[in-house]
């Protein structure tokens, strides 16, 4: 289910073969329109843009398709398939509807929507995630053999992809099967008013990603010296607030991450009776809706 507060509409899809997407007025619950695509099984994610009449949808097996709709005109503006990629969260940039973020437990992709007259096109850029310990991969170590010869009498040192005889895009993304590095696993993301992204990870790290350059900064947590051991928080939900983000954990607590420059400190904001499944601010940002597995 997705909501659009300015237009007072909600969107949801069928749970059947060849599902449709329905747009209903709220709270009147009268049908506004029906969007019919070519998806076989299910729409897993729906989200409205914060301005304009745009809706993004993502489907799972077998299409794995991202589609951009003009829901008022009942047309698909553009679509793109990502075979095998199960996306866990989809969101528009609140400050720029031409940017979308798709995240999964293994990737974070920022999509840009380009337009020429009435033609729309979406293009993805992938964020280079840090390693599980929060450090970054040395690109030289990845591209070139580990044992570099001291004497270059036999010629220049070639990248591994060139030794394998690969060219083009395949050469740029080639990694030997025994040369894989375990990366961080994103759980949730949220946009900031400056069009940057905060990303929470399963390992407890908090990342800040520049929305234009996609440069990743691993924010350093200021530990509470009164605790005997570090407390890692794997966010289930993440929302932006003035001083940083609110994050919820599986144990039923809502935390306030106070972010300053490249570091942050964690304060307990609220204790709930059960795991927090979702959080959402009101349009005025004066009220915070917290949904648990028991109450809302």
Residue 70's pLDDT band, with cuts at 50, 70 and 90, is very high
pTM (predicted TM-score): 0.86
Distances (CA, A) of 246 to 276, 277, 280: 12, 13, 10
Strand pairing of 65-70 and 206-209? unpaired
pLDDT of 16-35, one tens digit each? 999 999 999 999 999 999 99
Coil, helix or strand for 16?
coil
Instruction: Inform me whether the pLDDT recorded for 120 exceeds 80.
Output: yes
pLDDT of 155-195, one tens digit each? 677 777 777 788 877 776 666 666 677 899 999 999 999 99
Q: Is 189 left (phi over 0), alpha (psi -120 to 50) or beta?
A: beta
What is the C-alpha separation between 294 and 296, in angstroms, rounded? 7
Q: What is the DSSP string of 42-73?
A: -EEEEEE-SSSSEEEEEE-TTT-EEEEEETTT
Residue 109's pLDDT band, with cuts at 50, 70 and 90, is very high
pLDDT of residue 66: 96
Q: Centre a 10 Å sphere on the Cβ of residue 274 and count the other Cβ atoms it contains.
A: 13
Q: Which residues fall within 8 angstroms of residue 168, CB to CB, at 6 or more apart? A: none
Domains in the chain and their CATH numbers? 1-126 (2.130.10.10), 131-142+159-182 (no CATH), 185-296 (2.130.10.10)
């Amino acid at each position: 289910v997705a909501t659009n507060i300015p237009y007072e509409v909600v969107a949801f899809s069928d749970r059947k073969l060849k599902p449709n997407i329905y747009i209903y007025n709220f709270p009147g619950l009268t049908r506004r329109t029906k969007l019919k695509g070519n998806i076989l099984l299910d729409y897993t994610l729906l989200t409205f843009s914060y301005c304009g009449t745009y809706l993004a949808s993502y489907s799972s097996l077998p299409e794995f398709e991202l589609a951009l709709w003009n829901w008022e005109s009942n047309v698909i503006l553009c679509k793109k398939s990502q075979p095998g990629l199960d996306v866990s969260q989809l969101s528009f940039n609140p400050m720029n509807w031409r940017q979308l973020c798709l995240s999964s437990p293994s990737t974070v992709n920022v999509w840009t929507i380009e337009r020429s007259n009435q033609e729309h096109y979406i293009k993805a850029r992938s964020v280079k995630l840090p390693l599980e310990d929060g450090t970054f991969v040395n690109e030289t170590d990845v591209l070139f053999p580990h044992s570099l010869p001291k004497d270059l009498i036999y010629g220049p040192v070639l990248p591994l992809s060139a030794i394998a005889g690969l060219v083009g895009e395949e050469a740029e993304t080639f990694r030997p099967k025994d040369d894989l590095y375990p990366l961080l696993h994103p759980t949730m993301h949220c946009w900031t008013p400056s069009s940057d992204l905060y990303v929470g990870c399963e390992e407890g790290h908090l990342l800040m990603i520049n929305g234009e350059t996609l440069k990743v900064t691993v924010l350093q947590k200021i530990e509470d010296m009164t605790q005997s051991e570090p407390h890692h928080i794997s966010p289930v939900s993440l929302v932006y607030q003035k001083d940083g983000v609110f994050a919820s954990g599986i144990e039923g607590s809502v935390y306030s991450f106070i972010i300053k420059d490249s570091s942050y400190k964690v304060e307990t904001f609220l204790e709930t009776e059960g795991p927090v499944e979702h959080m959402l601010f009101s349009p005025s940002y004066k009220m915070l809706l917290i949904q648990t597995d028991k109450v809302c």
